[in-house]
Amino acid sequence: MKKPGVLLSCFFILITLTLRSQNAPVTTVTSILNPPADSHVTVPVTVTGFTDIGSISLTLNYDPAVMSFTGFSANASLPGFVANELSSGKIVMMWYALYGVTLTDNPSTLVNLIFTYPTSTTTLHWYPVTIYCEYSKFDLGAYNVLNDDPSSLYYIDGTITFNHVDPGSIASDQTICYGTAATVFTSVAATGTGTITYQWQNSTTDGLSGFNNIPGVTNETYSAGTLTTTTWYRRIASSTVNITVVSASSNAVKITVHARHTISGTLKYNNPDYSIMNKVYIALMSGSDTISTCRTADGTGGYQFTGICDGNYKILIVHNYRLSGSINSTDASQVNYWSSNQLPIEHVKFLAGDVYYNGSGSPNTSNPFINASDAMQVQRHYVFNLPPSSFDRDPWCYWKAGQTIANDFDPNRLLEIDANLNGADLTINLLAQVTGDFNCSYIPDGKKEEASATLHLTYGETIRMDAGKEFEMPIRVVKASKVGAVSMILNFPLDLIEVKAVYMKDNPGQLDWALNGSELRVGWNSLYPLDLPAFDSIVILKLKTTDKFRDDKTIRFSLAPDQLNELAGEDYKVIPDALLSIDEISTTAIGIQEQPGLDKMTLKNQPNPFSNYTMIEYTLPFDGKVILEVRNLVGQTVKTLVNEMQTSGTHSLRFDSGSLVSGVYTATIRLNSNNNSAIRTIKLFNNR
């Protein structure tokens, strides 16, 4: 680098004036944008078309208030090149040679001018070009001035420009559903040296490439509108100083567009047949907002939510027209057993067993668990014939099919059915269960008044009793049984008999009983099943006849026509063919004494069990009116075999079962004379 020096006061130059037929080189001050921070800045001056040049005379002006000239570095092919600041802001550059010099590179650097670092944008310009700027060609000992008219084509000014831009930022990533509109982007405005303008771009490739301008979108903020594909957006901010434009890109924001999908499944009852639950209204929830509702279909129990965007949802059953039911002591026994021997069960069954709330918060949203208190509540619900609201939980429970709970401390024992949709259709099959129906016996749309198919009551002896008498009446098992739970609903003539108490000879469990008019409900369950021999008592009724029990009246307890009547075995499952026996109660004729030989009346049949027919034989100890009837287990007379006067002695007849269905029946014979009466009952087992 050469420092500016004093030019020679005179040059010995032989100048021959000629026509300017050759053009001068194009001389350009290189413009610089945002020079790197330093103590100095170097400004190259370049030339194009520098051929056979013999002398140079150039004057360049700059703004001394912005920067100062400190030196230069000339092209090595131009020895003796001088650049000197003659006055403030004016640099004079001169060179000559006694031969012509050609710079082959186009452009070639003529000289590098060095200044202190400028404080702002500034322009370096040739001044005045018509007087102080010219090139000469050395030709045959003469210097011929080259053509530089018009000067604006041959002497190009340069600018040192400071133009910075901070693009600001946009926010934020969004996730929307196919065909819906995105929200307006939020913005931090761009800042810069000059005038700020914007241009929004988008790309469907990724956040780094494939961006194209969005025509006409030049505001600070932008709303992408309705989208059908995932798209990235960014904002280009530009700063303009004079004619210099600097641009920078903001961050890229992604709008993820999810395709719409379907959430579907079936709703069935958690019983052995998985009965269809149709006409149940189900809602798809997002927080507290209802996204969609549908009704389960007839024939399948199916439901479907279509056109659903990806997201996290909840399934809520909002209406089930069915009444709850099918709750008795068998359920209580299974609840009690599970609480002591916890094994994996369906999640919905677990919820159905947690009927008693003993925590904090809401019983329908808090973590559930099952214990003996739940078993007690279930049995009392049955015995006292309480409404569904007697349980702390809602009358119905619902959960995903196939999801199990291992124990009371299982971390997955949740209460809300989640449906998280993520890029594909989702199938969620649901199970429903009545709260309290822990043995899963409920049949949706079944007939509640149908008689029990698993428990039957037959009649034994006839007990003779006066009015106003207290006595005990056992209910016996006909065959040896191991019993873990008892559920009985008995009907009786309220005007003839009072039920004073119900108890058990051996009660290792929970016994409850209740009266409602002429209906007696009895419930019992225990973790220690009873081992009963044939004709041993399972329940004992403490009774008292009323004053109306006179004049040849008979008291008969019968099973109510209700499917809840059942016994559970030692495994707490329903005994399919349980048979109980209870005696009848008859009045004693006042003033008439029984005669010797009454105990000789007999009644028997052979074979028993039988198919199609059996032979019935009976012995009468005295003459009298004989009525021989066959009844079913609910006490209805299905056939009268004898209704006539007969003499004492042995009689027999053939009983054809005909159209009677298979099952247990009773044959009762009544013998009445003027002075005596007798009655006997046997059981008939029809295996037709």
Query: Can you give the pLDDT at residue 599?
Result: 53
Percent helix / strand / coil, the chain, rounded to 5:
5, 50, 45
The tokens for 628 are 């021989």
Query: Can you give the pLDDT at residue 448?
Result: 59
**Cα gap 200→165, rounded to integer Å:** 16
**Cα gap 651→628, rounded to integer Å:** 12
Do the Cβ atoms of 665 and 686 come closer than 8 Å?
yes
Which among 157, 163, 173, 79 is positioned nearest to 118, based on CA atoms?
A: 163
Which among 342, 287, 282, 281 is positioned nearest to 313, based on CA atoms?
A: 287
**Cα gap 42→70, rounded to integer Å:** 10
Describe the crossing of helices 329-340 and 372-383 by its angle, rounded to 10 degrees: 180
> ∠48-52-57 over CA atoms, to 5°?
70
Report in angstroms the alpha-carbon separations of 300 from 268, 275, 297.
Answer: 9, 9, 6
**Cα gap 530→511, rounded to integer Å:** 13
Where the chain has pLDDT below 50, the residues are: 1-20, 360-361, 589-598
Do the Cβ atoms of 134 and 24 come closer than 8 Å?
yes
The tokens for 191 are 């800042």
**Cα gap 171→529, rounded to integer Å:** 69
What DSSP state is assigned to residue 496? Answer: T
Q: HEC string of 409-424?
A: CCCCCCCCEEEEECCC
Which among 380, 392, 317 is positioned nearest to 354, based on CA atoms?
A: 392
**Cα gap 419→417, rounded to integer Å:** 7
Query: Can you give the pLDDT at residue 325?
Result: 86
Do the Cβ atoms of 578 and 455 come closer than 8 Å?
yes
Do the Cβ atoms of 310 and 258 come closer than 8 Å?
yes
Number of H helices, E strands in the chain: 4, 52
Query: Can you give the pLDDT at residue 590?
Result: 35
Q: Which bin fits 123, alpha (ψ -120 to 50), beta or left (φ > 0)?
A: beta
**Cα gap 100→74, rounded to integer Å:** 17
What DSSP state is assigned to residue 376? Answer: H
**Cα gap 281→322, rounded to integer Å:** 12
DSSP E strands in 4-140: the ranges are 26-29, 32-33, 40-48, 53-61, 69-74, 82-87, 90-101, 108-116, 122-126, 134-139
